[in-house]
Structure 1
Amino acid sequence: MKDLRVGALFRLALLIGGTLGLVLLQLVVMRVTPKYRGVLPLHFHRLTCWCLGVRRRVRGLPPPAGTGALIVANHVSWLDIGVLGAERELAFVAKSEVGEWPVVGFLANLQHTVYIDRQRRGATAGVAAAMGARIAAGEEVVLFAEGTTGDGTRILPFRSSLLGAAHQAMGDVETDVTVYPLTITYTGWQGLPGGRVERAALAWYGDTELWPHLKLVLECGAIDVELVWGEPIVMGRTMSRKAATRRAEDAVRAARNEAVTGRPAV
């Protein structure tokens, strides 16, 4: 246990040092060549996964690069940001409070996060306009459609409001938006398959504080996570936002069941 603590401290120190260096570089990039602002966050998230012992396995086909897409995913933990961000250059949609958090908010701003103020009426329209503009410009925007983090053992109902608003924000009702379902499942830790207890422990939800949870993750030594891309869903002229949301939720639930049981969903 003593060696594990020493190893965890070393990896934390490496993560902090690497983060400081990348932050300084990112500030320069955003001022000098802002079109490349997504490159360094990609390396930051890969560094985070390496330091925390997160091992990613990916199934399915992601969106073609540069085409613009709305990625709809389930949400389990703050770890999700690093896991997804280590795969591709992405923009995330987050609640406005995140932008005010110490350190975390600063890092989120550097990644050009889209914020939504849940306390302000009409906020959805502004967020949707930002999402629509990003997608139209060829960016990939991640929406955690449950609206909150779950307990790691089940999928919460998906919300359809932002999917529809993002489509409306494209400015042309004849324009289709391609939605890509993405399932996040933490399948094991310390090199062993994880059950309900382990998945719940890795989840960050309710009143769980960040530092104790980060300490737990550091001391795990290794965390296995599976990402599953579902079949793309074309939302627009022939499919409503509610129908697209249902299909995305069904795809995520099916992939979660397969990841947990090892058997295709029926």
Structure 2
Amino acid sequence: MRYLRYSYVTLALFLATILLAPVQILCLWRGWPLARKLPRYWHMVACFVLGIRIHVHGAPDKRRPLLLSSNHTSWLDIVVLGRVADLAFIAKSEVRDWPVFGLFARLQNSVFIERADRRGTGDQVNSIAERLVGEEIIVLFPEGTTSDGNRLLPLKYSLFGAASSAVPFSPTGRVYVQPVAVAYTGIGGLPMGRALRPVIAWPGDVEMLPSLAGVIRAGSFDIDVCFGESVEFTAETKRKQAAAEIEARMRDLLSERLRGR
């Protein structure tokens, strides 16, 4: 049965990719708005075949420009968030060259940043700011790495520079940064406690395919996505203080959901 499930998931994702990828490539090339919406259909298929049940609390802020600040546990975070809304993601530059995952990141029209390139930091931040002002919803994982799913790691406040840079170009002089918590709360129909969250976690030393195999073996997951109250960035906003407030709200959202509240 396990091998049948592997085959079923692999075939479904392969077919979804073969059908949607050429259309998405054309949309990206032509600059059509459909390019923002099409990846969501792939994520719908992925969530269905992987047995992912998403429980959404709150909703993305309707105001623009909007940057979502989410915790990061697994590659599944992208599938889950991509299922909930039409989004683009900020990713480190090396992701672009990863097998399979790099292709999906490019098709999602991700924003790739080179963290070691300090000279090019301004251009990278401006690129994100342009996308935000263009009314795209961009997702930032400000922890800078993945956690074990039981806690929020300290945030890298410098990554919120994109929000500050977008302020002068915003028609309202404001950019909204909304805290988001992705909490893995169930596995196989049972509550997922601290001991089981490493099943879903994706540390940097684990390859993509073994991680995917583990997710397939688990059978099903319950995942809570919590949207908090946005923090406004204006010309007068002090980035460190605003980032600290975002971090506090993210931590509260995650801890409350993991405790079942």
SS at match of 1:125: helix
Return the match for 1:230 from 228, 231, 237. 228
Partners of 1:185 and 1:256 within 8 A in 2: yes
Return the match for 2:71 from 49, 74, 77. 74
Residue 32 of structure 1 and its aligned partner are, at CA, apart by: 4.6
Aligned residues: 260
Return the match for 2:239 from 221, 226, 241. 241
Residue 29 of structure 1 and its aligned partner are, at CA, apart by: 2.6
Matches within 5 A, 1:1-266: 3-32=1-30, 34-64=32-62, 67-171=64-168, 175-263=173-261
Residue 220 of structure 1 and its aligned partner are, at CA, apart by: 1.1
Cα deviations across residues 133-177 of structure 1 (Å, max 9, x unaligned)?
111111111110101111111110111112134312444598221
Structure 1 segments of 4+ aligned residues over 6 angstroms from their partners: none
Change (3 A) 1:61 1:27: closer
Rounded to whole Å, the distance in 1 between the matches of 2:228 and 2:79 is 20
Normalised TM-score (structure 1): 0.92
Larger CA deviation: 202-211 vs 76-85? 202-211
Partners of 2:166 and 2:175 within 8 A in 1: no
Cα deviations across residues 153-212 of structure 1 (Å, max 9, x unaligned)?
111011111213431244459822111000011111111100112112201013111111
Change (3 A) 1:124 1:169: farther
Partners of 1:69 and 1:139 within 8 A in 2: yes
Percentage of pairs with the same residue: 37
Rounded to whole Å, the distance in 1 between the matches of 2:167 and 2:130 is 7
Change (3 A) 1:165 1:43: closer
Residue 77 of structure 1 and its aligned partner are, at CA, apart by: 0.5
Partners of 2:167 and 2:235 within 8 A in 1: no
Unaligned segments of structure 1, at least 5 residues = none
Partners of 1:182 and 1:227 within 8 A in 2: yes
Normalised TM-score (structure 2): 0.93
Larger CA deviation: 24-33 vs 76-85? 24-33
Residue 28 of structure 1 and its aligned partner are, at CA, apart by: 2.8
Q: Which amino acid aligns with 2:118?
A: R
SS at match of 1:142: strand
- In angstroms, what is the RMSD of aligned CA positions? 1.8
Partners of 2:58 and 2:228 within 8 A in 1: yes
Larger CA deviation: 251-260 vs 236-245? 236-245
Change (3 A) 1:43 1:245: same
Larger CA deviation: 164-173 vs 212-221? 164-173
Unaligned segments of structure 2, at least 5 residues = none
Cα deviations across residues 204-248 of structure 1 (Å, max 9, x unaligned)?
013111111100101111111100000111122453111111111
Rounded to whole Å, the distance in 2 between the matches of 1:75 and 1:141 is 15
Change (3 A) 1:244 1:29: same
Rounded to whole Å, the distance in 1 between the matches of 2:241 and 2:168 is 21
Cα deviations across residues 15-45 of structure 1 (Å, max 9, x unaligned)?
1111111112212333456222112101011
